């Protein structure tokens, strides 16, 4: 058999690209952190990974925000794109490219896909009239809107204001793709996850698809339509195309395109499911381009169950959150507390509980207690174990089984379940440690104490390797305390037991308790 980690397929993962019309919020941070954990996991598991994130800079919303702020839309885009990039830095997001839709290669890719769609006969000129939401950058049918008492109208689903729009536009023949899309969802049930989202989309498509307007003439902040510079592309056409630009499209012969397309995984939030699972595959089918393998839809974050809004005053700046709790605690909390794919809530109390119970008690104390005993009683070296008892073997077997378990959970993006499994083993290790009473063995049976400490720090090492995708910094400090070199932290290293006699540095706490002032 090939060694573990060998010949793993290349993995291309993307986040949605954010509108840089304002500062990022905790929902953005959640998307980046979760995608980053997925990307890091695949790298540690031996895959060649390409991880892309970025900003979606065109469209009416950007143009209107710039006008309101009295600055050039290019400056607004550049300024806020930098703010997003800085957030990525603060959150330790390991992206391989940060794409901006104003990048030169993206103009080329957007024009190329448009021309392919036109060549397929799927684009025609028509007069569009209907309701447009600038906030959503989306067209709605009258039936999808609600008339309010004050005479204005809003999108029923998203509650954003819509305005009547009449324009001569280029139109995409989405209606022609109904059957092919339904066949896609049928033949590839894994294409949309979780299943609830898939079911929603299947029934939406079954209810009938209308052609969609894909250009605008009333403003000019966008990619110009090839051959008709009076039109700019509807922002979602160029936005979705970013996923192709990132791997070299339209150069389909390039090494990166051949290696990384089709994308393995698009990570998005629930409000943009339709764009990614209906429009996007239809555009690609029309252009004759292979479809991405999977779109995973995460839920929305709410502050104590309430929608974040500027007027309620409960919008949390993710950077302030990191300042308050520390980056690893925030990353861990979001991925452990919320079932990935469902909506979730955060609150100070919930974060502190996770920090103190899971990080400080279950993992931090275990590492600190066992390593302090090693420092004091084993000459600050990894002790040499004697023969393993049944308890020792059961403990090691539980830890050894974690890699396969985490891998299968990460493969279906069940990040919270992978963490639950790891913390289950940590609970077991704490019980093992208490039961074996190495502090008593120190006097009665030092050789047995050495074995118990060996088993315990071996579990800590395995957990340290496995939590790297979620808490890169803390995991690295744990592995430093165990004397593990940078080269021995891959998932293949899990199977190689920690070597006895390795000299260890002085132990230091990794997860101090959070104490309210
Ligand atoms: O939609 N909780 O950009 P965006 C969790 N430019 N996730 C949330 C959230 C919340 N409260 N609010 C938003 C766009 N999101 C487009 C994407 S992709 C080709 C173009 C998620 O800045 C949202 O679902 O409004 C999306 O995945 C991401 O944040 C960016 O949202």
Other C-beta atoms lying within 10 Å of the C-beta of residue 318: 22
ipTM value, please give it.
0.99
Instruction: Give pLDDT, residue 309.
Output: 66
Distance spanning both ends of the chain, measured CA to CA: 56
Of 314, 310, 280, 318, the closest CA to residue 297 belongs to 280
Q: Cα of 218 to ligand 1 centre, how many Å?
A: 25
Q: Cα of 282 to ligand 1 centre, how many Å?
A: 21
In degrees, rounded to 5, the angle at the alpha carbon of residue 99 between the alpha carbons of residues 169 and 411 is 105
Of 70, 80, 4, 8, the closest CA to residue 42 belongs to 8
3-state secondary structure of 157: coil
Whole-number CA gyration radius for the chain: 26
In degrees, rounded to 5, the angle at the alpha carbon of residue 20 between the alpha carbons of residues 154 and 345 is 70
In degrees, rounded to 5, the angle at the alpha carbon of residue 133 between the alpha carbons of residues 128 and 136 is 120
Minimal-distance CA residue to ligand 1 atom 12: 27
Whether the Cβ atoms of residue 460 and residue 367 lie closer than 8 Å to each other: yes
How are beta strands 228-233 and 97-100 bridged, if at all?
unpaired
Q: Cα of 213 to ligand 1 centre, how many Å?
A: 22
By the 10 Å C-beta count (0-12 exposed, 13-18 middle, 19+ buried), 213 is classed as: buried
Instruction: Give pLDDT, residue 312.
Output: 66
Task: Return averaged pLDDT per consecutive 10 residues of the chain, 517 residues in all.
Answer: 62 98 95 98 98 98 96 97 98 98 98 98 95 94 94 94 94 98 98 98 97 95 97 98 98 96 98 98 98 98 76 81 97 98 95 98 98 97 98 98 98 98 98 98 98 98 98 98 97 97 96 92
Q: Cα of 24 to ligand 1 centre, how many Å?
A: 10
Q: Cα of 268 to ligand 1 centre, how many Å?
A: 7
Instruction: Give pLDDT, residue 8.
Output: 85
3-state secondary structure of 345: strand
Say what the alpha-carbon torsion angle 455, 460, 463, 469 is, to the nearest 10 degrees: -150
Whose tokens are 């989306």? That residue is 138
Tokens of 157: 């689903």
Pick the atom of ligand 1 nearest to 308's CA.
11
Q: How far apart are CA 473 and CA 477, in angstroms?
A: 6
Instruction: Give pLDDT, residue 315.
Output: 75
Helices (H), 160-290: 178-187, 195-206, 235-245, 255-260, 273-274, 280-287
Tokens of 328: 């690893």
Whose tokens are 């996923």? That residue is 243
386's CB contacts (< 8 A; 6+ apart) are: 447, 448, 450, 451
Minimal-distance CA residue to ligand 1 atom 18: 16
Instruction: Give pLDDT, residue 311.
Output: 62
Pick the atom of ligand 1 nearest to 20's CA.
22
For residue 128, what are the β-bridge partners? 167
Whether the Cβ atoms of residue 259 and residue 305 lie closer than 8 Å to each other: no
Of 132, 135, 103, 142, the closest CA to residue 216 belongs to 132
CA distances from 216 to 58, 232, 440, 455 (A): 12, 5, 77, 65
Instruction: Give pLDDT, residue 2.
Output: 42
Other C-beta atoms lying within 10 Å of the C-beta of residue 5: 14
Q: How far apart are CA 102 and CA 110, in angstroms?
A: 11
Q: How far apart are CA 99 and CA 108, in angstroms?
A: 14
409's CB contacts (< 8 A; 6+ apart) are: 415, 417, 418, 421
Whether the Cβ atoms of residue 463 and residue 403 lie closer than 8 Å to each other: no
Minimal-distance CA residue to ligand 1 atom 16: 18
Biggest alpha carbon distance in the chain?
89
Among 14, 21, 23, 31, name the best residue to mutate to test ligand 1's pocket (greatest count of ligand atoms within 8 A of Cβ). Answer: 31
Minimal-distance CA residue to ligand 1 atom 29: 28
118's CB contacts (< 8 A; 6+ apart) are: 226
Tokens of 277: 């699972």
Find the residues whose C-beta lies inside 6 A of ligand 1.
16-19, 27-28, 30-31, 56, 239-240, 242, 268-269, 271-272, 300-301, 308
Q: Cα of 31 to ligand 1 centre, how many Å?
A: 8
Instruction: Give pLDDT, residue 316.
Output: 82
Minimal-distance CA residue to ligand 1 atom 24: 269
Q: How far apart are CA 346 and CA 360, in angstroms?
A: 19
97's CB contacts (< 8 A; 6+ apart) are: 50, 52, 54, 246
């Amino acid at each position: 058999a090939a060694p573990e980690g060998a010949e793993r397929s290349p993995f291309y993962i993307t986040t949605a690209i954010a509108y840089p019309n304002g500062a990022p919020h905790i929902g953005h941070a959640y998307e980046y952190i979760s995608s980053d954990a997925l990307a890091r996991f695949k790298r540690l598991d031996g895959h060649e990974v390409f991880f892309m994130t970025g900003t979606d800079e065109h469209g009416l919303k950007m143009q209107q925000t710039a006008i309101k702020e009295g600055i050039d839309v290019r400056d607004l885009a550049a300024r806020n794109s930098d703010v997003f990039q800085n957030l990525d830095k603060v959150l330790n997001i390991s992206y391989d490219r940060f794409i901006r839709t104003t990048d030169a290669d993206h103009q080329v890719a957007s024009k190329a896909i448009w021309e392919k769609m036109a060549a397929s006969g799927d684009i025609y000129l028509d007069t569009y009239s209907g309701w447009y939401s600038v906030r959503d950058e989306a067209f709605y049918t009258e039936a999808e809107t609600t008339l309010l008492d004050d005479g204005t109208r809003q999108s029923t689903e998203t509650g954003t204001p819509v305005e009547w729009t009449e324009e001569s536009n280029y139109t995409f023949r989405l209606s022609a793709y109904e059957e092919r899309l339904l066949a896609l969802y049928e033949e590839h049930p894994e294409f949309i996850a979780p299943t609830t989202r898939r079911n929603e989309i299947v029934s939406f498509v079954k209810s009938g698809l209308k052609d969609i307007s894909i250009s605008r003439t009333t403003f000019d902040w966008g990619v110009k339509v090839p051959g008709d510079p009076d039109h700019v592309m509807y922002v979602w056409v160029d936005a979705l195309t970013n996923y192709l630009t990132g791997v070299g499209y339209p150069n389909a012969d390039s090494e990166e395109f051949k290696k990384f397309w089709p994308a393995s995984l698009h990570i998005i939030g629930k409000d943009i499911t339709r764009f990614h699972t209906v429009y996007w595959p239809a555009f690609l089918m029309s252009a004759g381009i292979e479809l991405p393998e999977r779109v995973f839809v995460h839920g929305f974050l709410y502050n104590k169950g309430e929608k974040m809004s500027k007027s309620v005053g409960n919008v949390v700046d993710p950077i302030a959150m990191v300042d308050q709790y520390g980056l690893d605690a925030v990353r861990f909390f979001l991925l452990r507390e919320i079932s990935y794919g469902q909506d979730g809530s955060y609150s100070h109390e919930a974060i502190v509980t996770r920090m103190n119970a899971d990080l400080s008690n279950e993992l931090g104390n275990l590492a600190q207690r066992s390593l302090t005993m090693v420092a004091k009683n084993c000459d600050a070296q990894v002790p040499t174990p004697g023969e393993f008892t049944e308890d020792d073997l059961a403990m090691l077997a539980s830890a050894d089984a974690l890699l396969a378990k985490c891998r299968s959970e990460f493969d279906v993006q069940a990040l919270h379940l992978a963490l639950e499994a790891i913390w289950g083993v940590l609970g077991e290790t704490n019980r093992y440690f208490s039961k074996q009473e190495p502090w008593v063995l120190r006097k009665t049976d030092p050789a047995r104490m050495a074995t118990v400490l060996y088993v315990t720090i071996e579990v800590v090492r395995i957990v340290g390797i496995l939590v790297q995708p979620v808490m890169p910094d803390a995991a690295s400090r744990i592995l430093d305390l165990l004397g593990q070199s940078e080269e021995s932290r891959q998932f293949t290293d899990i199977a190689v037991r920690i070597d006895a006699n390795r000299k260890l540095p002085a132990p230091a706490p990794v997860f101090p308790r959070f104490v309210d002032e």
